[in-house]
Amino acid sequence: MTLTTYETDESRTTMRDLEGMSVVITGGGTGIGAGTARHLVAGGARVTVCGRREDRVRALADELGERCAWVVADVTVASDRTRIIETAAAHGDGIEVLVNAAANMYRGDIDALDEARLLETFHSNVVGAMMLTGEALPYLVASRGCVIFFGSVHIKRAFPGASPYAATKGALEAATGVLAAELGPKGVRVSCIRPGGVFSELNQRAGLFDDTAAKERLEALGPAHALGRPGTPEEIAEGIEYLARAEWTTGSVLVVDGGLGLGTTNA
168-211: per-residue pLDDT in tens?
Answer: 999 999 999 999 999 999 999 999 999 988 865 444 444 444 55
Give the pLDDT of residue 228: 84
Check whether 34 has a pLDDT greater than 60. yes
95-131: per-residue pLDDT in tens?
Answer: 999 999 999 888 888 999 999 999 999 999 999 999 9
Q: Give pTM, 2 decimals.
A: 0.88
| Residues in a beta bridge with 158 | none
DSSP character string of the chain: -PPPP----TT--SB---TT-EEEEETTTSHHHHHHHHHHHHTT-EEEEEES-HHHHHHHHHHHGGGEEEEE--TTSHHHHHHHHHHHHHHHTS-SEEEE---------GGG--HHHHHHHHIIIIIHHHHHHHHHHHHHHHHT-EEEEE--GGGTS--TT-HHHHHHHHHHHHHHHHHHHHHGGGT-EEEEEEE--B--HHHHHTTS---HHHHHHHHHHGGGSTTSS-B-HHHHHHHHHHHHHBTT--S-EEEESTTGGGT----
Angle at 162 between CA 102 and CA 30, to 5 degrees: 25
Catalytic residue positions, numbered = 165
Give the pLDDT of residue 226: 85
36-79: per-residue pLDDT in tens?
Answer: 999 999 999 999 999 999 999 999 999 999 999 999 999 999 99
Choices 3.40.50.720, 3.30.420.40, 1.10.150.120, 3.30.360.10: CATH for 22-261: 3.40.50.720
Q: Cα separation of 105 and 116, whole Å?
A: 14
The crossing angle, in degrees rounded to 10, of helices 78-92 and 128-143 is: 30
Which sign, positive or negative, has the C-alpha torsion 39, 40, 41, 44?
A: positive
201-225: per-residue pLDDT in tens?
Answer: 444 444 444 556 666 766 777 788 8
